[in-house]
A and B are shown apart, each in its own frame.
Chain A
Amino acid sequence: MSTQTETTTIPSEIEQLRKDFPALHQTHPNGKPVVYLDSGASAQKPQCVIDTVSECYSDYYANAYRGVYYFGARIDEGIERSRELVRELINARSTSEVIFTSGTTMSINMVARGLGEGFFTKDDEIILNVLEHHANIVPWQMIARQTGAKIKYLPLTEDGRLDLDELPELLTEKTKLLSVTGMSNVLGSIPNLEQIISACHQNGTLVLVDGAQLVPHASVDVQTLDIDFLTFSGHKLYGPSGVGVLYGKETLLDKMEPMLGGGHMIDQVFQDKSTWAELPAKFEAGTLPIAPIIGLGKAIEYVRKIGFEAIETYEHNLLKYAHDQLQKIPGLTILGPGTEHKGAIASFTIDNLHPHDIADWLDRSGVAVRAGHHCTMPLHDHLGIHASTRASFAFYNNFSDIDALCEGLKYTLEKHRLL
């Protein structure tokens, strides 16, 4: 049983909120209730999002920006409403700066390629760090190979945070861009974006913030932080999969080339050339993920009603409880910084137990966690491990979920004759 000594802001409401998520009430084939601790990979969806998507298909489905008829008009309205909801969520200046993509991966690729050869030339520098998800490393490697630009890595502190003392040294007149995660998807580390962005801007360096993990857990204001590009995925924000967002400052998006050519992104097409549409259409070639976009709008309304302040406080208490309980498991090491520097993720290793075996045996206890390198091979190399086990939390998790995790770990240890 949990020893709920911490004061939690919304625990009484949590049980109410949990009812909104049908997947949280399913049963594992072995009869155990499912405990979902993999929201960092993809979050569960509230019924209102599921219904919104379903209604879009059953009540008024059509392609976007093409139909002059009733259905088409409703779809267009739905999409533009979602765009406005995204704009409000991140406080963009205008909806022209909100581009719908298929997800974070596509958004980052669009920036790397869209800036492209017109922006990066030989020996220009791009700053990354080993916390980054492959989605925020590989696109830059591709553009570096194409343009002759170089990638430099900002070092980490001992406990897995970005070592910002090293940043001034690293910034040179050739540093064109720094791309950084808002929150590590493995260690949970939350970098000081304000400090990074201000140092970069003083140096004339652009900053892309990969918000895939941060945006679902904290309010992010692109104007206050003066973020140049922000990317995130709908499916981690309690919305449908298949939709993501690229925010960019209008002046930058105007200068960028579209990555994809096709329908809707054009102004005029001639036999031998074309001109591009205005923002945001310029970056939205082809049929959009229509129902997911409309569903994402609903998801944003849903989380904003709960409020990020309440979410942050509650998730932080969950995280502290998780750290306290996990540390009691023999042989377990939590990776990364202490709870004061991170979001609601606890990745760990256990002596003499492989993460795959851990995740497999936790699944036998009904507990869903992720095992592997979590698309961060450079980070795992840096830590000197092949893989880790990750429990990631959302506001719909409760303290008993963490108790179930720890019980499952004890059972796993027993079954491997380690307890």
Chain B
Amino acid sequence: MSTDQYEELYEDYILPHFEDPYHKEEIECASCQHSERNPLCGDTVTLQLIIGKDDIIEKAFFSGNGCAISQAGASILCEEIEGKTVTELEKFSAEEMLELLKVPLTATRQRCGLLGFKVLKTMLYSRDGERIEEESTPSP
């Protein structure tokens, strides 16, 4: 990608998500939530999901602190996952997330771009996510 192309994408796509993010707020009624911190730079992302019938992500919210790439990444992620099912998200890959970001990232910066994605994956898989509501009792 040429410098001009990169600058254009950054200004037209990344910066708007950073400056005017999608669903950057903390909510009270999340079905589940999880936070992570990038130990390299201290960037944080908290993801909160409202999961409805049939395991569909009805709403996704994030909060956090950090560079344009990590925060825009979380914003893009929230926009993307609403309406998807948990099963679909389990198949959602890091490569797909990087494609959503559109701008090419070096290995170090991929950690920024994938911070929100990592939070989502940890929440879905490890059961580390603080389960709120009745979800906490395991089904028989």
Contact = CB atoms under 8 A, between A and B. Distances in A.
B84 interface: no
Given A30-B3, A364-B3, A415-B7, A357 B69 contact: yes
B42 A417 contact: no
B15 A417 contact: yes
Given A354-B66, A354-B68, A373 B3 contact: no
Interface in A340-371: 354-357, 360, 364, 371
A354 B67 contact: yes
Contact of B42 (A364, A387, A415): A387
Tell which of A355, A360, A364, A377 has the most Cβ of chain B within 10 Å: A360
B41 A372 contact: yes
Interface string B1-30: 001001100110001000100000000000
B46 to A, nearest CB: 15
Nearest to A387: B41
Contacts of B3: 30, 364
B65 interface: yes
Contacts of B10: 415
A364 B11 CA distance: 15
A291 to B, nearest CB: 28
A386 interface: yes
B79 interface: no
Contacts of B7: 415
A386 B43 contact: yes
A357 B70 CA distance: 10
Contacts of B19: 417
B15 A373 contact: no
A49 B48 CA distance: 54
Contacts of A387: 41-42
A355 B67 contact: yes
B107 interface: no
Given A30-B3, A356-B112, A415-B11, A373 B41 contact: yes
B15 A356 contact: no
A357 B112 CA distance: 10
A416 interface: yes
Top 5 A-B pairs, shortest CB-CB distance:
A386-B42, A354-B67, A356-B67, A372-B41, A357-B67
Interface of A: 30, 354-357, 360, 364, 371-373, 377, 380, 386-387, 415-417
